[in-house]
Structure 1
Amino acid sequence: MKALQFSRTGDLAALEVVELPTPVPAEGEVLVQIKAAGLNPSDVKNVLGRFPYTTLPRVPGRDFAGVVIEGPESLIGKEVWGTGNKIGFSRNGSHAGYITLPAKGVALKPSSLSFAQAASLGVPYTTAWDALERSLVDAKTRLLVIGANGAVGSAAIALAKVRGAQVLAAVRRPEQVDALKEQGFNAIQLGKPEELAGQVSAVFESGADVIFDTTGFWLPASVQALAPFGRIAIIAAPVDGHVQLPALALYRKGGSVVGINSLLYGVEECARMLEQFGQLFDEGKLPLPTGLVETPIEEGLGRYAEVNQGSTDKVILIP
């Protein structure tokens, strides 16, 4: 099978298109013929050596959709999708023609999603789902999502809308504000950090109950925009990993910070998440992905480079 593989880290030049034998599933595993695989920024960072627990040589890739070829009789021929923390890191990932993983680590693909659409959703949607779950977002929640135009941010506002939360989306550019308003979301344009609290209080009088910062740069300002007993969920940080937290303001508000890391969840836990929100696509409650860039896996090296250079295209690799 054709696959992308790297045997060293630190440079995207380490990534190669190679020919590998089709993997053989162990007892309790399935063999999935991959029809589409998502390319996430974390896949690029993996090749660059940002994850010290990655073992080499390794096929990268976390998200996939495909068809079960071998495994339990009840799953053979089924269209499935999946993601998880070990694939692409300590076991071969999805940027290949086939993948093996535990049978309980795949979920049935929603019929409303194509293979490419399903492959685009794993990391963004499980991250957003986890953020909403662990920060207790429900129909009574006033939610601010910073970076609502990104993959995780757009997933968060869509999922929060289904939960009935009051959603305020914050983005950088005026055209992004206009696009969100056309989708039916209340939106604001981010300016200076010290202005955020005023912008939020103009919409949510006493502040936001939950703030989900998908960018890593708005934690200090978010404390000022928080309602009493509010929660701030974060999935990113500045390059050096540090930020100055106004602890006095945070504890006076009874606030808390919730760290969200999709790499804490294995394929079986992720499959359960996919099952929960996957049905919402078939019920017409979540928007179907659009604007995907489908690319043959042989051209994946160039796509990796584009993502590393800041491209926001959602790339789908097709074996």
Structure 2
Amino acid sequence: MKAVVLQRVGDPSQLIHQEVPTPAVTPGHVLVRVHACGVGYRDVIDRRGDVPMIRTPIIPGHEFAGEVVAVGAGVARWVVGDRVLNLYTASCGHCEHCLGGDERRCRAGGEAFGLTADGGYAEYALAHERALERLLPEIPYDVAATLYSATGVGFNNTAHAARVEPGERVLVTGASGGVGSAALQTAKLLGAEVWAVTSSPAKADGLRALGADHVVVNGAGDFHKQVLAETGGQGVDAAIDCVGTPTLNGCLRSLRPYGRVVVVGNVDARRFELNLGYILVRGLSIIGSDNVTRAALRQVMALVRDGRIEPLIHARLPLAEAAEAHRLLEARGASGRVVLIP
């Protein structure tokens, strides 16, 4: 099969389009013919080696969609022809967390696609049967390839981690990305007034079209000055920070007293210095990303099917252009997800 292999961590030239053996189906696993694979900034972070546990060589890609073409011994959940999309890891299905409905906390979780196990930058991917979710028939594969770590992450962290309520003021950084655009739309869907932050003036109109009430064009990180001015000094109730180190201080200073920020992404591996006195005096809450539960993924699929959330896809590129997709993301040239089509 054709695949893109990250030979070693480094620049995009380390992503090599080549012929590799098609994975053999093993017990408890299924072989998925990949119809589309999302490319997000997490792929860039992994490729650069900012995540120390990555093994190389490896096929990247932690967000893919396709159809089951072969089933291993003992598999009970899938048959050939099923349309699926992947979760980041598998789960045991038997521990207290799995039985309690939150598989992400499973201590026996399997390998992570694109990090410790081959992912979706390929014509075929081998997946544990519990690392997949059924794809609704109305959703095309290219859209499905954005639903887990882009659209789903934006939705889940806005609706369930931040617990946004009608009438609240919500700030979203990295709002033109795959995660940020979903967070923006979710906040509007929940009845919030939304401030969208972008570093690119060219992306402002697109953010307004997605529903942003206010667009802040700022690449310096001091966007809180404009937010506070536009809120009469009161600040926002919640912030969804999809950027991390470069924007977290601006998010914290944009919050009203007792406000909350959910840290969803971090494009910069540098350490962040936190002013604890400011957090204490204003009673602020910093919440780590809630990622995506299987239940939230099913919720967001239904919302996408019904046209209430529209995943943002910047470009659909052939598999051989994976390195170009990475360069596009690093140059901040994409609005939404880039999707590879094998």
1:226 and 2:255 are equivalent in the alignment: yes
Amino acid at match of 1:211: A
Separation (CA, whole Å) in 2 of partners of 1:21 and 1:273: 35
Within-5 A mapping of 1:41-56: 41-56=41-56
Name the residue aligned to 1:317.
Answer: 340
Contiguous gaps of at least 5 residues in structure 2: 90-111
Name the residue aligned to 2:81.
Answer: 77
1:114 and 2:143 are equivalent in the alignment: no
Within-5 A mapping of 1:280-295: 280-295=303-318
Amino acid at match of 1:315: V
Q: Report SS of the residue matched to 1:138.
A: coil
Amino acid at match of 1:255: L
Contiguous gaps of at least 5 residues in structure 1: 263-268
Q: Give, in angstroms, the shift of residue 271 of structure 1.
A: 4.2
Name the residue aligned to 1:300.
Answer: 322
1:150 and 2:166 are equivalent in the alignment: no
Q: Is the 8 A contact 2:242 2:265 kept in 1?
A: yes
Separation (CA, whole Å) in 2 of partners of 1:251 and 1:273: 32
| 9-18 vs 151-160, greater mean Cα deviation | 9-18
Q: Deviations over 1:252-276 (max 9, x none)?
A: 22111123275xxxxxx65443222
Q: Give, in angstroms, the shift of residue 154 of structure 1.
A: 0.5
Q: Report SS of the residue matched to 1:44.
A: helix
Q: Deviations over 1:176-213 (max 9, x none)?
A: 43333344320132457556255346347732111122
Separation (CA, whole Å) in 2 of partners of 1:149 and 1:16: 28
Question: TM-score with structure 1 length normalisation?
Answer: 0.85
Q: Report SS of the residue matched to 2:166.
A: coil
Separation (CA, whole Å) in 2 of partners of 1:238 and 1:6: 19
Q: Deviations over 1:290-309 (max 9, x none)?
A: 442232x2333443344444
Name the residue aligned to 2:224.
Answer: 196
Name the residue aligned to 1:68.
Answer: 68
Within-5 A mapping of 1:128-207: 128-132=154-158, 133-139=160-166, 141-191=168-218, 196-197=224-225, 199-200=227-228, 202-203=230-231, 206-207=234-235
Separation (CA, whole Å) in 1 of partners of 2:222 and 2:330: 31
Amino acid at match of 1:303: A
Q: Is the 8 A contact 1:169 1:187 kept in 2?
A: yes
1:275 and 2:298 are equivalent in the alignment: yes
Q: Report SS of the residue matched to 2:8.
A: coil
Q: Deviations over 1:164-186 (max 9, x none)?
A: 33322233455543333344320
Within-5 A mapping of 1:233-252: 233-237=262-266, 239=268, 241-252=270-281
Q: Deviations over 1:227-273 (max 9, x none)?
A: 222111223457462334332222122111123275xxxxxx65443
Q: Report SS of the residue matched to 2:183.
A: helix
Q: Report SS of the residue matched to 2:176.
A: coil
Percent identity over the alignment is: 26
Q: Deviations over 1:39-69 (max 9, x none)?
A: 2222233233222111233111111110111
Name the residue aligned to 2:243.
Answer: 215
Q: Kindly tell me: are residues 24 and 272 of structure 1, through their superposed partners in 2, closer, same or farther at Cα, counting changes over 3 Å?
A: farther
Q: Give, in angstroms, the shift of residue 287 of structure 1.
A: 1.7
Q: Kindly tell me: are residues 244 and 73 of structure 1, through their superposed partners in 2, closer, same or farther at Cα, counting changes over 3 Å?
A: closer
Q: Is the 8 A contact 2:146 2:311 kept in 1?
A: no
Name the residue aligned to 1:266.
Answer: none
Q: Kindly tell me: are residues 238 and 179 of structure 1, through their superposed partners in 2, closer, same or farther at Cα, counting changes over 3 Å?
A: closer
Separation (CA, whole Å) in 1 of partners of 2:232 and 2:225: 10
Over the aligned positions, Cα root-mean-square deviation in angstroms equals: 2.8
Separation (CA, whole Å) in 1 of partners of 2:331 and 2:202: 23
Q: Give, in angstroms, the shift of residue 38 of structure 1.
A: 1.4
Q: Kindly tell me: are residues 282 and 213 of structure 1, through their superposed partners in 2, closer, same or farther at Cα, counting changes over 3 Å?
A: same
Amino acid at match of 1:79: R
Name the residue aligned to 1:265.
Answer: none
Q: Deviations over 1:13-50 (max 9, x none)?
A: 33322222222333332211111111222223323322
Amino acid at match of 1:300: A
Name the residue aligned to 2:21.
Answer: 21
Q: Is the 8 A contact 2:45 2:267 kept in 1?
A: no
